């Protein structure tokens, strides 16, 4: 078996069927696709056959469903894909070729899809490093090691004998792959010709929730793997760091100020993409978002430090920044 393609997905109908359909023409008899469902309800369009297996089970999060799939895999190379990507021609072959004579992990390109009604928020996600850092990855030698922070499992391959289990306590799609790659300890090579198109459209509230989740999961990472967290963030988001302690007392004031910045962003985000003309203008908008983004992250890390869940953090920052005058837990009205 030469390649095992691992696709984690949620229960019920979803984008995994589209991902598998786009892979079909690339598969040989020596390849397999394993769709691992985070639940017991598989998409009925995913019909198992000689090259497709569908694994179901209890809810364990993306790390856990990847672990199930890897345990069942037979390939020499494991290729991790998100379920919301559309593989482009030559994806599997390019990954396999990159592994000839190499023990590295191989990251492929994953440009965001552009919709017919392109908005400012779409350009921010697609053209800046808000989510991934692809906009910074150009011009380096093919053997340049991009490091564990670039080992994103939306389009990443690795030799099967190098795979270690994903940390299932990181039960959200945030830093589970980063922490895993830290323990794999292989170089990360970038091969832009191994390409998928990322069909995922964000809304302003989803980006807000994502920033709170980032802070919460970064704080958790400091507890689970402190050496990895230190390498990635320094002391930022560390639950017992002085900044987090000070932020707990200052949160009401911080959130009131940050709310103004977020509301400006939310008003602009859904405007037509042409509203922001030049790339410099776009990055000006991106940089202007830093204040409310950092506040949302601080809220997440503070709530982790006091024992709240990731869902609590996302709900709290959404309530506090996106229009509420006061956060519920810090003296404001519910």
The two three-digit tokens of residue 308, written as one number = 């709240």
Let me know whether 173 and 279 are in one domain.
no
Specify whether 74 is located in the same domain as 221: no
Question: How many separate domains does the chain show?
Answer: 2
Q: E strands along the chain, which residues?
A: 3-9, 31-37, 52-55, 77-81, 85-87, 105-109, 155-159, 188-198
Confirm whether 332 is domain-assigned.
Answer: no
Q: Do residues 178 and 306 both lie within one domain?
A: no
Residues 108 and 155 in one domain: yes
Domain boundary among 170, 198, 226: 198
Q: What residues make up the domain containing 223?
A: 204-327
Establish if 334 belongs to a structural domain: no
Last residue of a domain, one of 162, 182, 198: 198
Looking at the structure, do residues 193 and 232 belong to the same domain, yes or no? no
**Domain-embedded: residue 34:** yes
Strand 77-81 to 3-9 pairing = parallel
Same domain, residue pair 193 and 209: no
* pLDDT band (50, 70, 90) for residue 332: very low
Entry pTM: 0.92
The HSE-up count of residue 215 (CA atoms within 13 Å, CB side) is: 31
The answer to whether residue 258 scores a pLDDT higher than 90 is: no
271: pLDDT confidence band, cut at 50, 70 and 90?
A: very high
Tokens representing 270 are 């859904």
Q: What angle do CA 264, 268, 272 make, to 5 degrees?
A: 175
Q: How far, in Å, CA of 130 to CA of 289, rounded?
A: 10
Q: What is the DSSP letter of 313?
A: H
Statement to judge: residues 24 and 148 lie in one domain: yes
């Amino acid at each position: 078996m030469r390649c095992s393609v691992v696709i984690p997905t949620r229960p019920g109908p979803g984008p995994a069927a589209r991902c598998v359909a786009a892979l079909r023409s690339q598969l040989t008899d020596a390849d397999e696709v394993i769709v691992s469902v985070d639940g017991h309800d598989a998409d009925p369009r995913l019909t198992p056959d000689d090259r497709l297996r569908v694994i179901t089970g209890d809810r364990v999060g993306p790390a856990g469903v990847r672990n199930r799939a890897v345990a069942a895999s037979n390939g020499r190379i494991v290729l991790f894909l998100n379920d919301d990507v559309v593989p482009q021609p030559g994806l599997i072959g390019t990954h396999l070729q990159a592994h000839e004579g190499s023990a590295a992990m191989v990251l492929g390109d994953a440009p965001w899809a552009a919709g017919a009604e392109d908005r400012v928020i779409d350009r921010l996600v697609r053209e800046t490093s808000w989510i991934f850092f692809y906009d910074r990855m150009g011009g380096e030698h093919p053997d340049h090691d991009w490091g564990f922070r670039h080992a994103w499992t939306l389009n990443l391959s690795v030799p099967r004998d190098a795979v270690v289990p994903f940390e299932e306590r990181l039960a959200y799609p945030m830093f589970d792959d980063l922490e895993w790659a830290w323990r794999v300890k292989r170089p990360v090579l970038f091969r832009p010709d191994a390409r998928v198109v990322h069909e995922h459209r964000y809304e302003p509230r989803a980006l807000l929730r994502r920033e709170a989740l980032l802070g919460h999961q970064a704080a958790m990472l400091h507890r689970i793997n402190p050496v990895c967290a230190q390498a990635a963030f320094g002391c930022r988001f560390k639950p017992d760091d002085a900044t987090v302690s000070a932020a707990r007392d200052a949160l009401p004031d911080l959130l009131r100020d940050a709310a103004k910045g977020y509301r400006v962003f939310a008003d602009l985000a859904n405007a037509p993409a042409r509203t922001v003309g030049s790339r410099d203008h776009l990055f000006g908008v991106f940089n202007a978002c830093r204040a409310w983004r950092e506040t949302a992250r601080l809220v997440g890390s503070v709530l982790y430090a006091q024992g709240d869940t990731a869902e609590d953090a996302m709900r709290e920052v959404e309530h506090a920044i996106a229009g509420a005058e006061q956060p519920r837990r810090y003296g404001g009205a519910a």
